[in-house]
Amino acid sequence: MKILAIDTATEACSAALYIEGEITHQYQLAPREHTRLILTMVETLLDQSAIKIADLDALAFGRGPGSFTGVRIATGVVQGFAFAADLPVLPVSTLASLAQQVYDQHQQTSVLAGIDARMGEIYWGCYQLANYNSGPNSGQGLMQLVGQEQVSAVENIQLADKTEHWCGAGSAWDSYSEQLNKHLGQQIKQSYADYFPHSASIVRLAADAFQRGEAVEASQALPVYLRNDVAKKKKTQMDVNNRK
């Protein structure tokens, strides 16, 4: 199995190549330089492994949440490759990428992943160690979303399990550490504020998703902004209220 993944959703820019369980990657913190860097990263990885896009089984990308422009860059690049080579695509959550890194590097099994969404809000989701037993990575430690990913102010964050000790990960812990610590208190035992989504964890999650048949056609490989979902829900509620 060969999968290429890219991510440009935040300040970090990265690409990773999964070949039969082995992962190589390129990663750089480079705000506003993603367009210049990402294709070079992809070319470098493919050249190092002596393969071409057409040799891949699938493509993956960080589908958000994150920067509107950044998420669009990754979506556009992957769709372009996928259409040209007729490859399926695996959209992977950037929040899941954060949670997976914390598990892989620190063996933490309950992670509140958070990305600074600006305007006093956070993109966040609760992740815990998966309990399914399918795919090539079964039993090897994959993180799974509990509940839904959301965008909200700090005071509206609710942990999935209040009896569990959680870890925090992502830029939200850099921008809103004081508010988060005040709101969540002793439920958060440690945080990793310097973590960003990374294609190495995205491609790891994508490999399992591919085995479980979750790949989609290029036209269906869509970004996730979360704020759009909130706006739609608010409009729907307003329409319902107006009909009453």
d(CA 59, CA 65) in angstroms, rounded, equals 18
* Partner residues linked to 62 by β-bridges: 92
Residues of the chain with pLDDT under 70: 132-139, 228-244
- Looking at 10-102, which runs of residues are DSSP E strands? 12-19, 22-29, 58-62, 89-92
What pTM value is reported for the model? 0.90
* Residue 234 confidence (pLDDT): 38
β-pair type (58-62, 89-92): parallel
Ordered strands of the 22-29 beta sheet = 22-29, 12-19, 2-7, 58-62, 89-92
Query: 3-state DSSP call for residue 82?
Result: helix
* Residue 130 confidence (pLDDT): 87
CATH homologous superfamily of 95-192 equals ATPase, nucleotide binding domain (3.30.420.40)
- Fold match, 2-93+197-228 / 95-192: yes
**Domain 2-93+197-228 CATH assignment equals 3.30.420.40:** yes
* Residue 161 confidence (pLDDT): 86
* Residue 228 confidence (pLDDT): 64
* Residue 133 confidence (pLDDT): 52
Neighbouring C-alpha atoms within 13 Å toward the C-beta of 172: 32
* Residue 131 confidence (pLDDT): 73
**Domain residue spans of the chain:** 2-93+197-228, 95-192
**Per the structure block, which two tokens stand in for 75?**
């979506």
Distances (CA, A) of 111 to 130, 148, 212: 12, 14, 24
